[in-house]
Amino acid sequence: MIANIPYLAVVGLIVIGLSAVLFRKNIIKMIIGITLIEAGVNLFLITLGYREGSIAPIWTSSPGGVMAYPVPQALTLTSIVIGVAVTALMLSLAIHIYRHHGTLDVRKIGGDDQ
């Protein structure tokens, strides 16, 4: 139980990100919130493969040791690139929303039409 305390950083990141998405009214801040959630999930993924005292899974001439698991690192890499793509698309939509409304405040942007 006590050894799991470091994982709470993941919860912290995800909750901060979610609350930003849910409570912030500025679109850019919502996007930042989503990237925070993403960071939390990526952090969790990469810690899953960590072994105490391990080295990176790369063979060099230096003395070896226990190696960290490579699969979570590869998954994190994939997930980071996906995150970049999503963020790019969200930002470009935000630029368009700003063009149409002159504001990024969700309360001032139309909202639901039945």
Partner 1 sequence: MSFLDQLIIHGPALLIALPLLGAFLTPLIGRVNDKLRNLFVIIILGITAILILLLAQEIFASGPITYVFGSTAPYVGKETVIRILFEIDALSIFMAMIGIILSFAAAIYSWAFMEKNTGLDKYYALLLLLTVGMLGMVLTGDMFNFFVFLEITSISSCALIAYYVNKAKSVEAGFKYIVVSTIGALFVLMAIALLYGQYDALNIAKLADSITFSFVDKIALVLLLAALAMKGGIVPMHMWLPDAYSRAPASVSLVLIGTTQAGLYGVFRVLFTLYGNVIELPTISMGWILVILGLLTMLVGVIMAMIQVDFKRLIAYGAVAELGYMFLGVGTCLTVLANPEVTLAQAPFAFEALKGGLFHVFNDALDVGLLFMVAGAVYYATKQTSLNSLGGLARNMKYTTVFFIIGLLAVSGVPPMNGFASKLLIYESTYQLNPILSIVAILASIMLLAIFVKVFHAAFLGPALPQFEKVKEVPKSMLIAMGIIAAFIVLFGLFPDLIVNTIVDPAANALIDNTGYLQWLTGGA
Partner 2 sequence: MNGLSKIVRTIANITFPFVMIFGLYVIAHGHLTPGGGFQGGAVVASGLALILVAYGSKWVSTKIKEHDLSLLESLGGLGFISVAFLGIIFGGVFFSNFLVGTDFLFGGIPIGGAADFNSGGTLPLMNFAVGLKVIAGLFAIVFVMALAISKKEESA
Partner 3 sequence: MMTKRDYAAVGFLTITTVFLVFSMLLIHPFGNPSESAMDQYIIDNTVEETGANNGVTSVVFDYRGFDTLGEATVLFTAVAGVIMIFRRLKQ
Kindly list the residues in this chain that would bind partner 3 in the complex (CB under 8 A).
Answer: 1, 3-8, 10-11, 14-15, 18-19, 22-23, 47-52, 56-60, 67, 69-71, 73-75, 77-78, 81-82, 84-86, 88-89, 92-93, 96
For residue 70, what are the β-bridge partners? none
Q: Which of the choices partner 1, partner 2, partner 3, none does residue 64 contact, using the CB cut-off of 5 to 8 A by kind?
A: partner 2
CB of 63 to partner 1, least distance (A): 27
Three-class DSSP category at 40 = helix
Figure out which of the listed residues 96, 103, 105, 108 binds partner 1, where binding follows CB under 8 A.
96
User: Which two tokens mark 9?
Assistant: 């950083």
Residue found under tokens 């919502």: 30
> Number of C-alpha atoms within 13 angstroms, CB side, residue 91?
8
